[in-house]
Amino acid sequence: MALVARVRALLLPGSRLRGATLGRAANGGGAGARRALSHRVLVEADPAAGVAVVKFRNPPVNSLSLEMLTELGICLEKLENDKTVRGIVLTADRPGIFSAGLDLTEMCGRNPAHYAEFWKAVQELWLRLYQSNMALGAAINGTCPAGGCLLSLTCDYRILADNPKYTIGLNETQLGIFAPFWFKDTMVNTIGHRATERALQLGLLFTPAEALQVGLVDQVVPEDQVQSTALSVMSQWLAIPDHARQLTKTMMRKATVDQLLKHREADIQNFVSFISRDSIQKVLQVYLQKLRKKNH
Ligand SMILES: CCCCCCCCC/C=C/C(=O)SCCNC(=O)CCNC(=O)[C@H](O)C(C)(C)COP(=O)(O)OP(=O)(O)OC[C@H]1O[C@@H](n2cnc3c(N)ncnc32)[C@H](O)[C@@H]1OP(=O)(O)O
């Protein structure tokens, strides 16, 4: 079975995301909150508030594997088609790591067809998030490098937990790779050209105080208030009539989206040829081994 079909089948039957009913939330969520489970993504929807909290739970580090990208994309698609949901907050199910970014094992020791499939999935998730009609917020309750940072940058606002261990940024150059143009554009649209150039060339991971100063996040709050703050900020975004907010969002983001749409195939080919280079494979393997050595 194709991956998308397999993941669709995995989404829990009976959830609101698929059909009619969902059980009451065991915890969190307001009155009437409903909870749906899939393997790697947990959704807590509160129809009264018009908000769904989408929680990553892909242990150990919420990396964006092909499965995770696909599952997240399907969850978001279902939420977009759910008339009771107008806003989504992205967060990690367990605090500590928002997302370790793209899954490095998807980019190491595989074949070109796999690299192409993986990169297409990364593009698709970005396109879905960056063009979403929903109001999107990120409740960043953990460390947030590279692809994790990109996820948060697709949102309309970011709330970061005040913990110096929770750094955020596009650190690709530190790995010996680089952020493609649409990662760069997403950051430029958030913090401006000069700050992005510095952040990308140096592969900076910002502490919460630094991230706030440069505008990478909108608010830094105590760790136990990240989700509640993200939800209360969401109510401000949802107080604006949807059509007016959506038209404005499209106006602001269209040029950036169009760039990727125009160069989508070339971007996949560039990724495949770059990541397949022996020198890049070596660099990634050394980086992965270093991460693994810590634990063995
Ligand atoms: C178009 C033009 C061309 C474009 C050119 C190409 C563009 C590519 C763009 C790339 C974007 C990316 O997101 S690249 C990904 C960048 N990500 C990172 O640099 C983060 C790396 N990870 C970390 O720093 C840390 O793991 C961190 C997240 C802080 C958590 O630290 P902890 O101490 O809690 O956990 P660790 O012990 O380190 O990790 C637990 C296990 O998870 C694994 N792990 C950690 N991060 C992982 C990851 N991203 N992918 C896979 N596996 C990972 C470790 O190897 C461990 O494996 P075991 O020991 O076996 O259990």
Residues 6+ positions from 205 with CB-CB distance below 8 Å: 145, 167, 168, 169, 171
Domains located in the chain, CATH noted: 3-293 (3.90.226.10)
Does residue 106's CB lie within 6 angstroms of at least one atom of ligand 1? no
Cβ neighbours of 9 (radius 10 Å): 9
Cα 64 to middle of ligand 1, angstroms: 9
Does residue 142's CB lie within 6 angstroms of at least one atom of ligand 1? no
CA distances in angstroms from 274 to 58, 84, 92, 266, listed in the order given: 27, 43, 31, 12
Cα 101 to middle of ligand 1, angstroms: 6
Does residue 178's CB lie within 6 angstroms of at least one atom of ligand 1? yes
pTM greater than 0.90 (yes/no)? yes
Give me the tens of pLDDT residue by residue for the chain, a chain 296 residues long. Answer: 454 444 444 454 434 443 222 333 333 444 456 566 678 999 999 999 999 999 999 999 999 999 999 999 999 999 999 999 999 999 999 999 999 999 999 999 999 999 999 999 999 999 999 999 999 999 999 999 999 999 999 999 999 999 999 999 999 999 999 999 999 999 999 999 999 999 999 999 999 999 999 999 999 999 999 999 999 999 999 999 999 999 999 999 999 999 999 999 999 999 999 999 999 999 999 999 999 987 77
Prediction ipTM score: 0.98
Phi, psi of 43 (to 5 degrees): -120, 125
